[in-house]
Structure 1
């Protein structure tokens, strides 16, 4: 039952993100202003809640990403992704062509053809469900 609920929740979130991306790409100016006024506060509060859960503890570990046997030092991947997408101007990390490290590529110039705003790891809600 938990897996079914989790799948429903994931689908709903992916569909909402897809809808917002489509609106950002296709809506007229007046609709964009309306959507921005209603959705930006919700999105920023959502990011704040996620980042608060990943705020480092007194040892400098992320309490959410750490386990009893493996400590995850801050900044964890959640903070790194937040910085990449909120501060660094929408740069997405892509594997280096030669497989040596990672490089940043502006989302609109991605070679894989994904539209900006798509999740960096999963290209569709259905794929997210299939891989979980």
Structure 2
């Protein structure tokens, strides 16, 4: 049951992000201004809430990403992605691809996160993902 609810939650978030991306590409100026006024404060508050959960502790570790057996030094991947997308801007894709290749030990480019989609046979966002059964 938790897997189904988690998938429904994830699908709702992906759908909202898709809707906002489509709006940014296709809407006219008045619609964009209206969307910006309503959505930008929500998006910035969401980023702030997520980033505050990943603030380093007194040892310089991310309390959210760290486990009992493995400490994750700050900045964690959440802060790195935030910087890449909110500050670095156009360099983010280049930087992410290089880091992903380095971590994988491969020279193949990593697909950008914003291009992730569910398999075409299930639509853009299936309600229940493949559980491997």
TM-score if structure 2 supplies the norm length?
A: 0.76
Question: 1:61: which partner in 2?
Answer: 61
Relative to total residues, which structure has the larger helix share, 1 or 2? 2
- Stretches of structure 1 lacking an aligned partner (at least 5 in a row): 103-109
By how many angstroms is 1:94 displaced? 1.3
Q: How many residues align?
A: 118
Question: 2:97: which partner in 1?
Answer: 94
Relative to total residues, which structure has the larger strand share, 1 or 2? 1
- In structure 2, the CA distance between the partners of 1:48 and 1:94, relative to structure 1 (3 Å rule), is same
Alignment root-mean-square deviation, CA = 3.0
5 Å-filtered alignment, 1:43-122, equals 43-90=43-90, 91-92=92-93, 93-95=96-98, 118=114, 122=116
**Greater length-normalized contact order (CA 8 Å, ≥ 6 residues apart):** 2
SS of aligned partner of 1:75: coil
Which whole-Å CA distance do the structure 2 matches of 1:130 and 1:72 have between them? Answer: 30
- Stretches of structure 2 lacking an aligned partner (at least 5 in a row): 119-123
Q: Whose radius of gyration is greater, 1 or 2?
A: 2
